[in-house]
A and B are shown apart, each in its own frame.
Chain A
Amino acid sequence: MSYFLPCLYAFIACVGFDFLYNIRGRRLVTTSLGGALGWFVYLSCYWFDNDIPRYFLATVAISIYAEIMARVDKVPVIVYLITAILPLVPGGGMYYTMEYWLMGDASAFAEKGSQTMMIAGAIALAVVLVSSLVRMWKTMRRLRYLKHIGKQLH
């Protein structure tokens, strides 16, 4: 239950961003559900003492959701992906990094900056991982299908 409100807030924020991306109709709900799902996974993985794997796993969940929904809804995966990763992306981290830089606080800048890049990297890696696996799976199915056709012809 303690997870419900944060996920709801993530959902609301995602709905707002859908208007910026010209996403319409029932997709306002389905894309934003991905954002809530990602934050739910992030919160559920509380046993990690490091943030990075939590971001990674949350993004893996979002990517799988996006791949499935993109096929159900017949849209490019990016439509579901971008809205859903919004609550995870380190916008605040970017801001603080640049603020430390402008204030001349070199050590805080380096620390915040590397943490921000790690989070962004973990999210990007998770997205690429899932999309690569899906692509491999699709290729494998096509190859098997071609083999099957080939056998029938012989």
Chain B
Amino acid sequence: MNDWYQQLLNQAVNVGYALLANGAEIYRVEESIQRILLAYGVKGAEVFAIPTCITTTVFNENNEAITQIRRLYQKTTNFDTVEQVNDLCRHICQDKPDPAWIESELQRIAQRPIYPLKWLIFGYAVASFGFTLFFGGSLSDAFCALVLGIIIRLVATAMESLATNAFFINVVNSGIIALIALGTVHFSLAQSADKIIIGALMLLVPGVAITNSIRDVIAGDLVAGLMRMTEALMVATAIAVGAGGALTISQYLWGG
């Protein structure tokens, strides 16, 4: 019988893990796991999730606790998966399917398509193009930012394949942005360097992360909120280090 609990716990945590790893909110992860477990009629279930870890305990009929800790190392934002897993979760709570079926369903969702690199590059280019115009840049500024968007995606992909950490990637990318933006303005290819820089940097800056962290704090997930805030501050620091360094270098290269 404990085997059954083990299996159920495994699959419930798998569902929560898929949600957390693809950018769902903390409360959604906790609620989903708890609802799934309670739907199967267990005596009790406790879930504690933070952005890097899920801890779940389920109680069997003898009030013995079975606990599982799942650590999360890599995170992306994939709302297609979040939506699919959310649907799956609702379906599980209604129909209470066999745990083995849940596993196969999760595998099916994991194999759903994501945008290939060329479309990601397209997204980076369009986003930095749009944001430069949005912040008041001219059309030539925007095209400069568009090229920068392509470059930083390529650099990020190259560095990710070399297993670099996110901090270093942000330092390098923001440095590239500032250096090239100032260079193009120096050679009169574009007008305002700060519009290009901030437009292209929107791809890196953790604006959504800082907002979400405050949301977590207001919602009562204090630990999660603080973790995300620290993360966001570290990203912002990395970007400022990179851009600050590049500004200094460009003074020597292009005289300001």
Contact = CB atoms under 8 A, between A and B. Distances in A.
Interface residues of B, number: 55
B73 interface: no
Interface in B175-208: 198, 201-203, 205-208
Given A87-B134, A128-B218, 17 more contacts: A9-B131, A12-B126, A19-B127, A21-B79, A78-B23, A78-B28, A78-B79, A87-B131, A91-B202, A92-B198, A94-B210, A94-B236, A95-B236, A99-B240, A102-B240, A116-B210, A124-B215
Residue in A85, A91, A102 whose Cβ sees the most chain B Cβ within 10 Å? A91
A94 B208 contact: no
A103 interface: yes
Interface in B18-55: 23-25, 28
A59 to B, nearest CB: 9
A126 B64 CA distance: 43
B126 A76 contact: no
Contact of B201 (A20, A22, A95): A95
B232 A94 contact: yes
Given A75-B83, A127-B215, A20 B130 contact: no
Given A14-B130, A102-B244, A123-B211, A91 B83 contact: no
B211 A120 contact: yes
Contact of B79 (A16, A23, A116, A128): A23
A82 interface: yes
Contact of A10 (B80, B134, B232): B134
A102 to B, nearest CB: 5
B243 A95 contact: yes
Nearest to B206: A94
A15 B114 CA distance: 16
Contacts of A91: 198, 201-202, 205-207
B236 A128 contact: no
Nearest to A14: B130
- Main secondary structure, interface of A, reads helix
Contacts of B127: 13, 15-17, 19-20
Contact of B83 (A18, A76, A99): A76
A103 B79 contact: no
B82 A76 contact: yes
A99 B133 contact: no
Given A13-B127, A13-B134, A14-B130, A98 B207 contact: no
Interface in B90-126: 114-115, 119-120, 122-126
